[in-house]
Amino acid sequence: MIQESTVEPELAFTGRNETFMKTCVYPGSFDPVTNGHMDIIKRSAKMFDKVIVAVVKNYSKKPLFSFSERMELIQKSVKDIPNVEVESFEGLLMDYVHKKNAQVIVKGLRAISDFEYEFQMALMNRKLDPNVETIFLMTNHKYSFLSSSMVKEVASLGGCISGLVPDCIIRDIYRKLKQKD
Ligand code: PNS
């Protein structure tokens, strides 16, 4: 016969006798945010009390949008999701995760081709702190082909990006590309 557990469910989950607010960090370059990113943000917001979308400042590739513009585009896109915050970070992701008292790093996986690099980063982050888990959310199949680079390429060549990025930022993307020319 199975005995009923006397441990409160939330304590059974954490194993710690403390109030446990589950916070995750979703880091990335978001140059710009796409509907693939939005899918990961919305699904994370259902699983965690707080989702911090963390825009990397020291980005090695040359971004189209400045880091403050990248943040603004995300802020516009997530304004109706109450438990999502948009911030920036520089330096080690793990230092930022500690600063925010987060327990989990969320990453999206689109295809096998993403896996090797993501696996390497997840293992490096686990080496830096084994108590912080990286979890991967499989992309919605609708967005498995989608990347920020593709969006920029299609838009720069005059193609339609509707359905690929949040509607509220479409004009900003075309405007930025026009300024660049
Ligand atoms: O959107 P991207 O380009 O895949 O994001 C990559 C990002 C920002 C998540 C990654 O480059 C990162 O974590 N940078 C911070 C530097 C760091 O902590 N490096 C050590 C762990 S691999």
Assign residue 73 the CATH number of its domain: 3.40.50.620
Q: Is 56 in the pocket of ligand 1 (CB under 6 A)?
A: yes
pTM (two decimals): 0.89
Range(s) of the domain holding residue 97: 19-180
Say if 8 falls within a structural domain: no
Say if 108 falls within a structural domain: yes
Say if 42 falls within a structural domain: yes
Spatial CB neighbours of 81, under 8 Å, sequence gap ≥ 6: 41, 42, 45, 51
Say if 66 falls within a structural domain: yes
Say if 12 falls within a structural domain: no
Say if 10 falls within a structural domain: no
Say if 69 falls within a structural domain: yes
Annotated catalytic residues are 37, 61, 110, 148
- Report which ligand 1 atom has the smallest distance to the Cα of 56: 8
> What tens digit of pLDDT does each residue of 72-84 get?
999 999 999 999 9
Which amino acid is located at 145 in the chain?
Answer: F
> What tens digit of pLDDT does each residue of 104-147 get?
999 999 988 889 999 999 999 999 999 999 999 999 999 999 99
Helix (H) or strand (E) holding 138: strand 133-138
Provide the number of structural domains found in the chain.
1
